[in-house]
Structure formats: C-alpha cells, structure tokens
Amino acid sequence: MDAFTTHTGKAAPLRRSNVDTDQIIPAVWLKQVSRTGFEKGLFAAWREDPSFVLNDPVHAGASILVSGPDFGTGSSREHAVWALQQYGFRVVIAARFGDIFRNNSTKMGLLPVVLPGERVEDLQRAIEADPELQVTVDLAERQVRWAGETVAFEIDDYTRWRLMEGLDDIGLTLRHADDITSYENGRQPWLPTTV
C-alpha cells in the first residue's frame, strides 16, 4: 500500500449518520473479481440524487470525506474502502467508525480519523462556508488542521508506523513464521480439520 504521512486537500461534508457499507458500495457491485473499477459504484444509489453532496461541483476533487457518526457500519466488504480510494479519497473523518471498516481502511492506506462529534460538525460547517477550504491531515503529528484550527486525533503507534511506512502486513507476519510453527505444534489435538 501507499505510505501516508500527511495529506492536504479539499474536503466534502457528508451530513449523514450510520453510513453503512451497503450505501458506500451496493452489493450489486461486489460481483467483480478484480480490485479496480469500484469508484463508479461509490454511493451509487445516493449519487442518483442530483442534490447529493458529491454531485455538487463545488466539491469536485475532494480527497477528504467528513461524515456523521458510525461511518462504515455493517458488511465487512473491503470494496467500500477500494471504492472510496479509487474515487479519490485519502481520508475519512467521523466521530465513530464501524470496526471492520476501520480495520480494512488501515490495511489499504485509507486513513480513518476519529474526531469528537462537535469538531466534525465544526469542520463540516467550515467546508460548507468555503468549499475550497484546504484541510491538512497530518499523521506524523496526529493532527487535523484547517483555517487556523488544530484538532488532535488518536491512533495507536503501531498502526501509525505501518501506515507511514506503507508496510504490507503479510510480510511483517511472515518474519515470525517460526513462532507460528511452534504454536501449531502445541495446538489441542481434538481441534477439527476440514479434510
């Protein structure tokens, strides 16, 4: 995955809560076997509504999505992350995320940033007042900054390091292949196999 250190860009305010992954990418889009082309399915049903925020030309080119709470709930489909990234988003900011979505995001280098609900709303209002507002998400400093405002966010050191280095989890785990083998030798004898 691509390394993430800091990103500055335009942001789009999504004033909805419980944005489940079925809305981010409807199931009909999950039938593909490739990893590309999902941007067309991003918010497919909502984008049919001309008044949907991403259809507003003032938000064209936005790379930071600022959503209401409980973003990415529901289905585990990683296609939701791919769709957001392929559409051009690098960061999603919300007060709360679905656990699986948040995890999937960090595996792919899409940064999920948790800010307090009132600060999310401050940022949404600032974007609505000035859609050209430049928002900086600084993973090194763990800060979101816009128009003189600075808000800190939390992320664990390990995930931050992995994102900043752009490291592949499988490669990291395979460095411990000996530990896995020795664990396997001690597994309980009655555990089932599928053969």
Partner 1 sequence: MGRTLAEKVWEQHVVRRADGEPDLLYIDLHLIHEVTSPQAFDGLRLAGRKVRRPELTIATEDHNVPTVLGPIADPVSKTQVETLRKNAAEFGVRLHPMGDAGQGVVHIIGPQFGLTQPGMTIVCGDSHTSTHGAFGGIAFGIGTSEVEHVLATQTLPAYRPKTMAIEVSGELPVGVTAKDLILAIIAKIGTGGGQGHIIEYRGEAVRKLSMEGRMTVCNMSIEAGARAGMIAPDETTFAYLKGRPHAPSGEAWDQAVAYWKTLRTDDDAVFDQVVEIDATTLTPFVTWGTNPGQGLPLGASVPDPESFADPVARSAAERALEYMALTPGTRLRDIEVDTVFVGSCTNGRIEDLRSAAEILRGRKVTTRMLVVPGSMMVKKQAEQEGLHEVFKEAGAEWREAGCSMCLGMNPDTLQPGERSASTSNRNFEGRQGKGGRTHLVSPQVAAATAITGRLTAPADL
Q: Is there binding between residue 174 and partner 1 (CB under 8 A)?
A: yes
CB of 132 to partner 1, least distance (A): 26
Q: Is there binding between residue 129 and partner 1 (CB under 8 A)?
A: no
Q: Amino acid letter at 68?
A: G
Q: Is there binding between residue 157 and partner 1 (CB under 8 A)?
A: yes
Query: What is the C-alpha to C-alpha distance for residues 95 and 122, in angstroms, rounded to an integer?
Result: 12
Nearer to partner 1, 147 or 174 (CB): 174
Instruction: State residue 93 phi and psi, 5-degree precision.
Output: -115, 130
CB of 109 to partner 1, least distance (A): 10
**Interaction residues for partner 1, span 53-112 (CB under 8 A):** 68-70, 73-79, 81, 96-100, 103-104, 107-108
Query: What is the C-alpha to C-alpha distance for residues 123 and 126, in angstroms, rounded to an integer?
Result: 5
Nearer to partner 1, 10 or 77 (CB): 77
Interacting span for partner 1 (CB under 8 A) from 6-14, 128-136, 145-153, 155-163: 155-163
DSSP H or E stretch at residue 24: helix 21-24
CB of 48 to partner 1, least distance (A): 9
How many C-beta atoms surround the C-beta of residue 71 within 10 A? 30
Task: Note whether 30 and 79 are within 8 A (CB).
Answer: yes
Nearer to partner 1, 31 or 57 (CB): 31
CB of 47 to partner 1, least distance (A): 12
Query: What is the C-alpha to C-alpha distance for residues 9 and 15, in angstroms, rounded to an integer?
Result: 19
What's the Cα-to-Cα distance from 40 to each of 50, 82, 85, 167, rounded to whole Å? 16, 11, 11, 28
Q: Is there binding between residue 37 and partner 1 (CB under 8 A)?
A: no
Nearer to partner 1, 32 or 150 (CB): 32
Buried b (16+ CB within 10 A) or exposed e, 107-117: ebbbbbbbbee
Q: Which residues bind partner 1 (CB under 8 A)?
A: 15-18, 20, 22-23, 26-28, 30-35, 45, 68-70, 73-79, 81, 96-100, 103-104, 107-108, 117, 156-158, 169-170, 172-174, 176-177, 179-180, 183-184, 187-195
